């Protein structure tokens, strides 16, 4: 997946535009996030580290091009946040190109975790 992102970001079309926002995928392992929350004094109430994403191949055929608008919204907020900020009005075009290539290659399988905490009384 990262290779596809790097290839597209390095193409003549995007190279200069994303020069200040090099491709980087941010992954936050659920165990680490839960640990940080507990260290901050919060009580872990509910924890599901492997929550199946609605577009996951584990639930069906995996994401298709029809899912692109929803995937774009989600990925612009997380995995491609730096590139989206750098590209401004062209962010959707870039994210669509990357996600489209990943969908066609069968290399996109999003996943979630659910962590619910509360402040101790």
> Which residue has 């584990």 as its token pair?
58
Quickly list DSSP for 54-105.
TT-TTSSS---GGGHHHHHHHHHHTTTHHHHHHHGGGHHHHHHHHHHHHHHH
Question: Span 16-28, mean pLDDT?
Answer: 76
pLDDT confidence of residue 11: 94
> Which residue has 């260290």 as its token pair?
39
The tens digit of pLDDT for each residue in 43-91 reads 999 999 887 777 776 777 778 899 899 889 888 887 788 888 889 999 9
**99 exposed, middle or buried (CB, 10 Å; 0-12, 13-18, 19+)?**
buried
pLDDT confidence of residue 53: 72
pLDDT confidence of residue 90: 93
User: What does the angle CA 26 – CA 27 – CA 31 come to, to the nearest 5 degrees?
Assistant: 150
Evaluate whether 15 touches 23 at the Cβ level (below 8 Å). Answer: no
Q: What is the pTM of this model?
A: 0.70
Evaluate whether 47 touches 32 at the Cβ level (below 8 Å). Answer: no
The tens digit of pLDDT for each residue in 92-113 reads 999 999 999 999 988 887 777 8
Could you give the CA distance from residue 99 to residue 28 in angstroms, rounded to a whole number? 20
């Amino acid at each position: 997946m990262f290779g596809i992102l790097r290839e597209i970001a390095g193409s003549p079309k995007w190279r200069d535009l994303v020069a200040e926002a090099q491709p980087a995928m941010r992954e936050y392992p659920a165990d680490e996030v839960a640990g940080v929350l507990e260290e901050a004094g919060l009580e872990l109430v509910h924890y599901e580290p492997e929550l199946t994403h609605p577009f996951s191949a584990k639930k069906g055929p995996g994401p298709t091009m029809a899912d692109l608008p929803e995937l774009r919204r989600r990925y612009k907020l997380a995995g491609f946040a730096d590139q989206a900020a750098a590209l401004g009005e062209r962010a959707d075009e870039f994210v669509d190109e990357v996600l489209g290539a990943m969908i066609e290659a069968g290399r996109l399988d999003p996943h979630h975790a659910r962590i619910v905490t509360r402040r101790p009384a």
